[in-house]
Structure 1
Amino acid sequence: MTARPRKRRPGRPAMRALLACLGLSMLLHPAPSLAALDAAACGRLQKSGVIGAGAPVGCDRLSVVRFPYVDFSGVHHDDGEIMVLAAVAPEVGQLFRRLHQRGFPLAHARLIDHYHGDDAASMQDNNTSAFNNRQITGGGPPSLHAYGLAIDINPLQNPFVQPDRQGVVRVSPPAATNYLNRLAARPGKPARPGMAESVKALFAEYGFTVWGGYWDAPIDYQHFQFSRGFAEKLAALPAPAARQLYLQRLDRLRRCLQPRPEASAGTTCALD
């Protein structure tokens, strides 16, 4: 009997190419997972002050998105977590998966109860976060974080800048001044890893069309959110209806964001 030649196994480069051709990139970039809040998790949020009786949405309307990410040293982590309104959680998972695929670095991605609801402590730790039942900075109505519809990314690379009446500029966190120019502004600042400008279009694709980097005072480079009007609509609806409304708006938004030859450079997508 003639011996059959042994089949050669493809090497690693060939295997990676094969996986890509088969559409199995999920093996290299695992899909994020979603988890509803159980009674124990809700209790921890209440105890830490992250959520209370006056929150625009309750524990039953929130989901935790778990995802992998890469840090600024190139180290991969599989323990990233962010809490958002359940109606948008699957798409937020897609958003963070695409950030991972791009190699966009995150310093940390921990739930705000890790910092007992202290936004300043979370910023100081350069933590990426979303839900936190608090007012807007300086007082007033609930922040969009209280709806689970705002995300802050890399506060050190994307600081919060607030001028006072005397013209003195407060930068949070303080170490973030290295990511501003001498006028405490951003235009023309050379791009560096983790800065929000490179992903603002990606956030917009998932409904986070409001970027704090466009504001005049304060300027909040780390902050992406939904419009307040639409957030209030989602919070007022039952969960299934909120999910349906979000998906309908997302479809309109993405069709609006598609390049059109006849559209002028200043065209915006005002859907609310």
Structure 2
Amino acid sequence: MGRHPASQAGSRGSFLTRSAGAKRPGKTIRHAVWVAIAAAVLVQCSAAPERPPAASSSATTTTTIVPAPMVLPVTAAELGASWRPGCPVAPEQLRRVEVDYLGGDGYDHRGALVVHQDVVADVIAIFAELRRQGYPIAKMQTPDHYPGAVDELSMEDNNTSAFNCRPLPGSTNWSLHAYGRAVDVNPLVNPYIDRSGDLEPATAAQYLDRRRTDPGILHASDAAVRAFTDRGWTWGGSWHNPIDYQHFERR
């Protein structure tokens, strides 16, 4: 290194002359062979790593995992205004059931119903089926979210609910809602009509026309109705007087 080219040439000439007299050509050849072998080894070691297999070009499917339903005990404090002393069932007999449902916006939402412990399995199965069917539910929260747990306010909000310790409309007898054995589904678009023609909720007059096909409206032939009736529940929409399109009950 650093040697002038002319000096390299002269030196190379002297090297060749000495090699011939000392019989070094064989040693030189062996040296060249070892250099070639070493170079080959280096080439193999530095070869590009093997490429990983190409990813499959087939499209992947995204699966939405639906959270499992939750069943929780409730206390009088948690029930709020929907329960009071003297109601026909104690809080210990009730359960809060949290399920996913398809909202009117086309997205999944988490809702809650309070029902009697005896119908928990039914309620979970029914609302899972409604979701599979694509049946939309406007809202699902317990009545204590409304001042005084007033049913009219919940219905006007098109809120699907179950337990509420209240009597039958125009009666002193307990509704099955007071036992946690009834569910009202999308009540604004599925109103209650009493013997005199009065409506509950009072804002539902336009939905007396049952030929309408608004999201969530229930008709006798609907799969959503059968999700209840196939499990032994009764639909109030099949009654004659009163008619209660929103109401499903299990005695």
> TM-score, length-normalised on structure 2?
0.72
The answer on 1:195 being equivalent to 2:223 is: no
Aligned partner of residue 159 in structure 2, secondary structure:
coil
CA 1:81–1:9 in 2, change beyond 3 Å: closer, same or farther?
Answer: farther
- 1:124 is displaced (CA, Å) by 1.1
2:189 touches 2:217 (CA, 8 Å); kept in 1? yes
One-letter identity of the residue aligned with 2:163: F
Q: 1:8-27 alignment to 2 at 5 Å?
A: 8=56, 11-12=59-60, 15-16=61-62, 27=64
The answer on 1:105 being equivalent to 2:136 is: yes
The answer on 1:3 being equivalent to 2:51 is: yes
Aligned partner of residue 120 in structure 1, secondary structure:
helix
| Aligned residues with identical type, % of pairs | 36
Q: Which runs of 5+ in 1 are unaligned?
A: 20-26, 228-272
| Counterpart-to-counterpart distance in 1, 2:217 and 2:121 | 24
- 1:191 is displaced (CA, Å) by 3.5
1:33 touches 1:67 (CA, 8 Å); kept in 2? yes
Q: What residue in structure 1 maps to residue 76 of structure 2? A: 42
| Structure with greater Cα Rg | 2
Q: What residue in structure 1 maps to residue 153 of structure 2? A: 121
The answer on 1:170 being equivalent to 2:198 is: yes
CA 1:10–1:83 in 2, change beyond 3 Å: closer, same or farther?
Answer: farther
One-letter identity of the residue aligned with 1:143: S
Question: What is the aligned-residue RMSD (CA, Å)?
Answer: 2.0
The answer on 1:133 being equivalent to 2:161 is: no
Q: What residue in structure 2 maps to residue 248 of structure 1? A: none
CA 1:74–1:4 in 2, change beyond 3 Å: closer, same or farther?
Answer: closer
1:232-263: CA deviation from partner (whole Å, max 9, x where unpaired): xxxxxxxxxxxxxxxxxxxxxxxxxxxxxxxx
1:28-53: CA deviation from partner (whole Å, max 9, x where unpaired): 4333211111xxx42242xx331122
CA 1:98–1:30 in 2, change beyond 3 Å: closer, same or farther?
Answer: farther
| Counterpart-to-counterpart distance in 2, 1:206 and 1:134 | 25
Which 4+ stretches in 1 moved above 6 angstroms?
Answer: none
> TM-score, length-normalised on structure 1?
0.67
| Counterpart-to-counterpart distance in 2, 1:4 and 1:72 | 46
Q: Which runs of 5+ in 2 are unaligned?
A: 1-48
- 1:207 is displaced (CA, Å) by 3.0
| Counterpart-to-counterpart distance in 2, 1:130 and 1:84 | 6
- 1:160 alignment partner, one of 192, 204, 207: 192
- 1:206 is displaced (CA, Å) by 3.0
1:123 touches 1:155 (CA, 8 Å); kept in 2? yes
One-letter identity of the residue aligned with 2:218: A
Aligned partner of residue 60 in structure 1, secondary structure:
helix
Aligned partner of residue 175 in structure 1, secondary structure:
coil
| Counterpart-to-counterpart distance in 2, 1:9 and 1:57 | 59
The answer on 1:32 being equivalent to 2:69 is: yes
1:89-135: CA deviation from partner (whole Å, max 9, x where unpaired): 13311211221222211111010111232111111111100001111
Aligned partner of residue 124 in structure 2, secondary structure:
helix
1:92 touches 1:206 (CA, 8 Å); kept in 2? no
2:76 touches 2:84 (CA, 8 Å); kept in 1? no
One-letter identity of the residue aligned with 1:113: D
